[in-house]
Amino acid sequence: MPGRFLNTFKPVTKIMPEVKAPERRIGFTEKLVWTAIVLVVYFVMTEIPIYGATTSGTQDPYFYLRVLFASTRGSLMELGIQPIVTAGMIIQLLQGSGMIGVNQSNPDDRATLAGITKFFSILMTTFLAIAYIIGGAYGTGLSIQKSLVIFAQLFVAGMIVMLLDELLQKGWGLGSGISLFIAAGVSQKIIWDIFLPLSITADGKAWGAVIGYFQSLLGGENALTAFVYRSRVDEPTMLGLVATIIVLLVVVFFENLKVEIPLSYAKYRGFRSNYPIKFLYVSNIPVILVSSLFMDFYFLTQIVWSRFNIDNSNVWLNLVGTFNATNNEPVGGIAYYITSPQNFSQFLTAPARGLVYAGLLVGLCVLFSVIWVEVGGLGPNAVAEQLVDSGMQIPGFRRSVKPIQEVLERYIPTVTVLGAIVVGVIASFANFLGVFGSGMGILLTVGVLYQYYQIIAQEQLTEMYPMFRRIFGME
């Protein structure tokens, strides 16, 4: 069955668009240039509006999910990296469950798997583009011609994003497009929310929290009121700025919190190392999976509502989700409770909604963390086998899987659950305080920046000492 899956899709993978891997070694400076080009293309796409599409001036119901997928409302980056992320998650789950068998040492198997992932990315791009159009994201009553024009723009933009990501991963640049776009989008959002001097609201005050706050004080407004509230509920506040700093420090703290298990090499006496078990053991994967589930469910409920229950008269469909016909925002049902309040004032208006959302997010984060550890080869038994196969052992224990597994079982199940709870709490309650870029965005960005720090340090080391290229597997 696993081999049959690859063979079934092999003819399809041969016609997938592809970025050729470099045939020569790309220097660090050249990689920086290619990475910068990809970043510029991303920012340009976020500024180009979709031709023929109209978006209302109301709040964006996908606002706090957009940072996860590096998307921008009403632009060519509307879908962002969601198709790639969703397709990648599907393939990893199928591979981890044993439904797809891949020999990673076989270049043909690796190429086929990459092609299958692209195929699923294209399918997800098609599905999401249709869902946005049918769901009313660009208005209701669109003609067939206008719908096709919008679909074509979303589809082509999705293909460009997929190829930009592959360009970096093939070795032309640094890291991956997915990580780069997330970090860039969140960083831009944070800077804009703090300092943007432009006014896009009726009161004429700057959008940036710092400038807008001092304008409010000079206008005679109460300092505490101006600190917490703005004229529009989606405007950044000083409370959000303080919360952003606190959340950033908390995330950095937990990112570096870990337990180190001492190891020794059986073949080289006296050579010791440590196996770190991070507190955030499965990183941000749980919140990504849960957010993808929420967004996909939200899409489906909008489609069902717009087609069969636009007047909110069906009792059973109302349980799934009811929406405001004017601005398409959720007002009831499951769809209402899986979307987060976007700031402190919205949370105070509907605290029950916020608490239910937080409970669902934390609970599902724990569930998906446990599942991911099992199917992703991160469980105590799988890690113990990997360590033994690498010639390692814990000092004082015999070199076999069982004793190492028993030691790992003291930590991995615990950090899996506790880490998932912390990630869920940060991602949900940070939103309630109006954190810039969202708690989820900060979680992802800190992890991405840490990865880029390691990549750049490794690249600079191999530039100075080429012999390390073989050690790092870069040749």
Predicted confidence band at 56 (pLDDT cuts at 50, 70, 90)? low
Six token digits for residue 127:
């599905």
Q: What is the pLDDT of residue 38?
A: 93
pLDDT in tens, 369-423: 888 887 767 888 888 887 777 777 777 667 777 888 888 888 888 989 999 899 8
Q: What is the pLDDT of residue 381?
A: 84
Any idea how long the chain is? 475
pLDDT in tens, 155-211: 999 999 999 999 998 888 888 888 889 888 888 888 888 888 877 766 778 888 888
Mean pLDDT for the chain overall = 82
Predicted confidence band at 470 (pLDDT cuts at 50, 70, 90)? low
Predicted confidence band at 3 (pLDDT cuts at 50, 70, 90)? low
From 150, 146, 145, 157, select the one nearest 132 (Cα to Cα).
150
With a cut of 60, say whether residue 1 has pLDDT above it. Answer: no
Comparing 151 with 291, the larger pLDDT belongs to 151
Predicted confidence band at 289 (pLDDT cuts at 50, 70, 90)? confident
Six token digits for residue 243:
């919360």
pLDDT in tens, 301-322: 877 887 788 888 888 888 888 8
Q: What is the pLDDT of residue 465?
A: 62
Q: What is the pLDDT of residue 36?
A: 93
Q: What is the pLDDT of residue 267?
A: 61
With a cut of 70, say whether residue 467 has pLDDT above it. Answer: no
Q: What is the pLDDT of residue 475?
A: 54
pLDDT in tens, 209-258: 888 888 888 888 888 888 888 877 678 888 888 989 998 898 888 888 88
Cα angle at 155 between 93 and 294, to 5 degrees?
45
Comparing 275 with 125, the larger pLDDT belongs to 125
Q: Quote the CA–CA distance of 139 and 143 in Å, as a whole number.
A: 11
CATH code of the region 1-20+29-174: 1.10.3370.10
Torsion of CA 384, 382, 452, 17, to 10 degrees: 150
Q: What is the pLDDT of residue 469?
A: 59
Q: 145-159, 284-298, 336-350: lowest mean pLDDT where?
A: 284-298
